[in-house]
Amino acid sequence: MKFPRTIQLDDSDSQVYERSAIPGEWAVPGSFAFLDMDLSEMTSKQRQAFGRGFLGTESFGWSTLVEVAQIDAVEYEGVVQRLANHFVDHCGAPNLNAALPLANEEATFAASICDHHLHTLLALERESNEDGIAERFKVVQLPSAAGHENVKLWTLLDDE
């Protein structure tokens, strides 16, 4: 099965998010993290996570990009279990029995966005509208001659 895995092409995620994901961890879109938040009261780093972030399922930090990767059944079950525990510990689910179906739904959805070749990079655009939260997933095109480690999408400059 294919599943999103976090990837960092540079260190910008550590600059733009309150907590950045660990490179190489399994990820889900994570829009559930924003369901009870007031967008007008978010910090700039929270707005960045809302607008562009995938949620890592180990660190529960954010990643701007994910790659389509192969996940085995044991790793997939680990994702579901970690999500269910997170729902109980941080999102108000009353117990694991209540959280597991929701965690499985989130993981199933994450797998569904990976209908691409392995190692395809995906980006997310998320916005709030009258119907709730809308997500769009985009394939990131890299120059054909470069590997992921050789591509720099942006550079951070210090304010002086």
How many angstroms from the chain centroid is the CA of residue 75? 16
Query: Residues 9-24: what's their mean pLDDT?
Result: 95
Q: What pTM, to 2 d.p., does this model score?
A: 0.87
Give the integer Cα–Cα distance in Å for 46 and 53: 9
Q: Beta strand pairing status for 65-70 and 27-28?
A: unpaired
The share of the chain scoring above pLDDT 70, in percent, equals 88
The per-residue pLDDT for 147 is: 54
> Does residue 159 belong to any structural domain of this protein?
no
CB atoms within 10 A of CB 78: 15
* DSSP-based three-state secondary structure for 101: helix
User: Is the residue at 95 inside a domain?
Assistant: yes
Domain span at residue 90 reads 2-150
The CA distances from residue 96 to 92, 99, 101, 160, in Å, are 11, 5, 9, 50
Higher confidence at residue 58 or residue 157? 58
Q: What does the pLDDT read at residue 160?
A: 46
pLDDT of 47-99, one tens digit each? 999 999 999 999 999 999 999 999 999 999 999 999 999 999 999 999 999 99
Q: 3-state class of 120 per DSSP?
A: coil
| Residue 158, in any domain of the structure | no
Within a domain: 155: no
Please report whether residue 61 resides in a domain: yes
Alpha helices per DSSP H over the chain: 12-16, 44-52, 73-90, 96-112
In a domain, 140, yes or no: yes
**What pLDDT band is residue 112 in, cutting at 50, 70 and 90?**
very high
On whether residue 156 sits in a domain, the answer given is: no
Q: How many structural domains are present in the chain?
A: 1
The reported pLDDT for the residue numbered 141 is: 82
Residue 78 lies in a domain: yes
